[in-house]
A and B are shown apart, each in its own frame.
Chain A
Amino acid sequence: MSYVRDVGALTRKDLLLELRARDTLPAMLLFVAAVFVVFHFALPGTPSRLETSGLLWVAILFTALLGLGRAFVPEREQQTFDGLVLAPCDRSAIWLAKSLATLAFLVAAEVVALPLYALFFHRVGGATVAAVLLADLGICGVGTLLGAMAVATRARDLLLPLLFLPLAMPIVVGAVGASVVDSPGRYLGFLALYDLLFAVVCWASFEYVVAE
C-alpha cells in the first residue's frame, strides 16, 4: 500500500515537472508528425497497408526514444538521484513512476499520431490499437531502465538508442505482426509475455542501476 503511495507521489512529481518545463510532449508530437511527412516522400507510389504499418512502428519507436531520452534529465541536471535513492522507499518505485509518466506522454503522443496516420495513410484497426497499448508498456518499462543507465554514462543520449533498439526488436515483431495478420492473438500474447518478463527483470534490477 505504501508502495503504491510512493509511486503515486513520484509519478505526480514527474508529471508536474513536464507540465512546468513543457519540453518533452510537444517535441514528441512534432517529431511524429514530421516523421510521417518524411515517410510520405520516402515511399514512392501508393504504399500498401503492409508497408505503412511497418513505418508506423518505426515512428512510434523513435518517438518513444525521444521521450525516454528526456526522462531522467531533471534527475541528471539537478542531481536529485541521490535524494531519491536515499529516501526509504523501494528503489523500484522510482522506475515504476518514471515508466508511468513516460507512458502517459507516449500515449498522449499516439492519441494524435494514430488519427494522423489514418488521415495520411491507412485506416487503423482495433488490433493495431491493442498492439500499440501492449507495446507501449514494454517500450516504457525497458526504455526507462535503460534511460537511467544511459544518464549515468559519459555518452548519455548517444547510448540510449544503442542499448534500446536490440531489446526492442521483439516488440517490433509482435506489434507489426499484430497489425498485419488476420488473427493477431498470437502476436498480442507474445507482446504481453514480453511486457511481463521484462517488467519483472526491470523491477528487480533497477536498484542496482541507481545505487552502488
Chain B
Amino acid sequence: MLTARRLGKRYGEKRVLRGIDLVVPRGGFLVVTGPNGSGKTTLLRICAGLAQPTEGTIERGAERAQVGYLAHEPLVYRELTALENLELYGRLYRVPERRERIGMVLERFGLWEARHDRVGSYSRGMTQRLALCRVLLHEPELLVLDEPYSALDEAGAELLDAQLAELRGDCTFVLSTHDPARVDPLASGRLALAA
C-alpha cells in the first residue's frame, strides 16, 4: 500500500528527514514514534500526499479520495456546526448516502446531540472527535493519523481504540504516537525516528 525508498525532506537548508525506508502492506499498521522535532509530522504529511519528498521516492496504493489524514489541527471550521462541516467534506468527497453516513459517524463518536452547535463552542476533546469523524467519513483505505490520542479525553480514547480495532485489517494505517503501548496490540510494524 505504501512503499518509500531513501525518503528525505529538506526545507531549504534545514534537513527534516533523511534516508527513511518503509513498506506498509495493505492492511498493515505502522506505528511511528520519535521525540518532538524528529520529523514525525513531516513523514506523515508525505504519506498522506500533502508534502512531496525532496529525496527518494514514495508510492501510494491509494487515490487522494481514499486517504484519511488526521492532523494536529482538526481541519474543521469553528464558525460552522459539526453537521455543516461534515456536509462540506461529505460533498467534496462525494460520499454516497451522505446524510446517513454523517449521522452514523456522529453517533459513533457521541456528537449527535451537539451536531447543531458551532465547533467553536466545543471542548478540545469534542473537536478532536469531530476531526476523527471527518477523517472516517468517506471510509478511506489509507488512514494517516498524527497523534490521534493527544487531544482526546479517556472516553474518546476508548472510542478510538474500538474504532481502530474494528477497522484493523480492512484499512491500512500509519499512526504516530507518544504512547506506543496503547496501540501495541494492533501494530504490524514500528518505525522509530531519531531526533
Contact = CB atoms under 8 A, between A and B. Distances in A.
A83 B50 contact: no
Contacts, number: 73
A17 interface: yes
Interface string B61-76: 0011101010101111
Query: Which of A12, A74, A86, A89 is the most central at the interface, judged by chain B CB atoms within 10 Å of its CB?
Result: A86
B81 to A, nearest CB: 9
A9 B98 CA distance: 13
B77 A74 contact: yes
A85 interface: yes
B94 A82 contact: no
B46 to A, nearest CB: 9
B134 to A, nearest CB: 7
B92 interface: yes
Interface in B123-140: 134
B50 A86 contact: yes
Interface stretch (B83-91, B159-167, B177-185): B83-91
Interface string A6-18: 1001101100110
A20 interface: yes
A80 B79 contact: no
B79 A83 contact: no
Contacts of B134: 83
Interface in A1-31: 2, 5-6, 9-10, 12-13, 16-17, 20-21
Contacts of B77: 13, 17, 74, 78, 80
B64 to A, nearest CB: 5
Given A6-B92, A86-B64, 7 more contacts: A16-B84, A78-B76, A79-B75, A80-B73, A86-B48, A87-B92, A88-B65
Interface of A: 2, 5-6, 9-10, 12-13, 16-17, 20-21, 74, 78-80, 82-89, 211-212
Interface of B: 48-52, 63-65, 67, 69, 71, 73-80, 84, 87-89, 91-94, 118, 134
Q: Which 4 A-B pairs have the closest CB atoms?
A: A83-B75, A88-B65, A87-B92, A9-B91
